[in-house]
Structure formats: C-alpha cells, structure tokens
Amino acid sequence: MAVHLKSSDVYSIAYRMIGDLTPIYRKDCGVLCDGACCKGDDETGMYLYPFEEAMFSEKNAWYRIIASDFTYDDTRVNILTCPGKCVRDERPLACRIFPLAPYQKKKGDKLKIIVDPRSFSVCPLSKREYARYIDSGFHHRVERTFRFLNMFEPIHRFIEEMSYQMDEYNRFFVDDTTKK
C-alpha cells in the first residue's frame, strides 16, 4: 500500500522524529568548535533534501535558498545558507543531523548512518578520537528518521547520489591521517 503525504508533512514528521536531540547528550557541541558548522556565508550552506524547501517560506529573513552545482536525476539540489544565526526549530534536516549523514549506494544495500566526511574539516566530533562522544540516542534517532524518509523514492535517490558524492569526497580530499 503506497503512502501519500505532502512533502511538508514528511519533513514535519522527520523533524519531530529527531526532536531536540543533538550530537552530544544534553550538551551544546558548539562549545567544542565555537559553532564552526554555523559559520556560513552567502555561498555555503546545507543541502536541502528533495522538496524540503516546502518547509521554508520566503518571509523569514534568517536564511537564503540558492541553487547548487549538485544534481541527481536531472534535478538541481538547493542549498540553504544562513549568516550563522538561525531559528533553531526551523533548521533544515542536514543541520539537525550534522555531522552525521545517511549512506546507501543502492536500494538493496543496508542504509547506514555515518559521520559525513565533508564534516572532517569543520567538526571535532567527526574525528575518530571524538566520534565516540556522539550520543547513541541521537545516532539511533537519525537512523530511524532516515529509515522512514528512505521509503520515499526521491529521498532514496538523493541519499544514493549523496553517498556517491561522499565517496568521491573521501577519495579526493580525505587523506589517510584523517581517517585514523
């Protein structure tokens, strides 16, 4: 039986599934790095998942949505940028799960939640010696959320393409010393 939901309903459910959990249990991980992941500019930001822009109205002034160079299935992916201050309850999914990311190369593979290799230069929690501090409850919620989101074909395809992009990033930008 196919489930049909509006994209805003899908993301509302996903945001509620993650709730107010953060990578470090009851702590502000931003004190480790002075909020490095929130120091964006007009050109850098977080990818929006398919149709997630439905969650954002143009009336809010704290962010900007721009087109990225990344495409999948002939669809250009948008990026949400902000000046470093946001309305926390209105953050996009990628911000809510940072530094984690879903990883699945093809439909039959097991969906995994990994530390996003693109976070290595920004987030201390992405380093192997600190990754153990990521709250297991947070990790579990992110995994459960993406098992739900992965049921929707556009999101599944996006996760596949992002997985390939992360592999390419690893191949070109992450040296062996970073992985240790």
Domain that holds residue 14: 9-173
Give a yes or no: residue 101 inside a domain: yes
Mean pLDDT of all residues belonging to the chain:
87
Residue 159 — pLDDT band, cuts 50, 70, 90?
very high
Give a yes or no: residue 75 inside a domain: yes
Give a yes or no: residue 156 inside a domain: yes
Half-sphere exposure of 82 (CA within 13 A, CB side): 22
Measure CA 161 to chain center.
Answer: 13
Give a yes or no: residue 104 inside a domain: yes
Residue 174 — pLDDT band, cuts 50, 70, 90?
low
Provide the pLDDT for residue 71: 92
Q: How many domains does the chain have?
A: 1
Question: Which one has a higher pLDDT value, 175 or 118?
Answer: 118
Residue 51 — pLDDT band, cuts 50, 70, 90?
very high
Residue 175 — pLDDT band, cuts 50, 70, 90?
low
Provide the pLDDT for residue 160: 96
Is 174 exposed, middle or buried, given 0-12, 13-18 or 19+ CB atoms closer than 10 A? Answer: middle
* Tens digits of residue pLDDT in 69-123: 999 999 999 999 988 888 888 899 999 999 999 999 987 899 999 999 989 888 9
Give a yes or no: residue 42 inside a domain: yes
| DSSP per position, 56-98 | --TT--S-EEEEEEEEETTEEEEEEE-SS---GGG--HHHHHT
Provide the pLDDT for residue 3: 56
Provide the pLDDT for residue 99: 95
177 pLDDT more than 60: no
Give a yes or no: residue 4 inside a domain: no
158 pLDDT more than 70: yes
Give a yes or no: residue 1 inside a domain: no
Rounded to whole angstroms, how far apart are CA atoms 130 and 133?
A: 6
Residue 55 — pLDDT band, cuts 50, 70, 90?
very high
Q: Which residues pair with 71 in a beta bridge?
A: 76
Question: Which one has a higher pLDDT value, 30 or 50?
Answer: 50
Give a yes or no: residue 20 inside a domain: yes
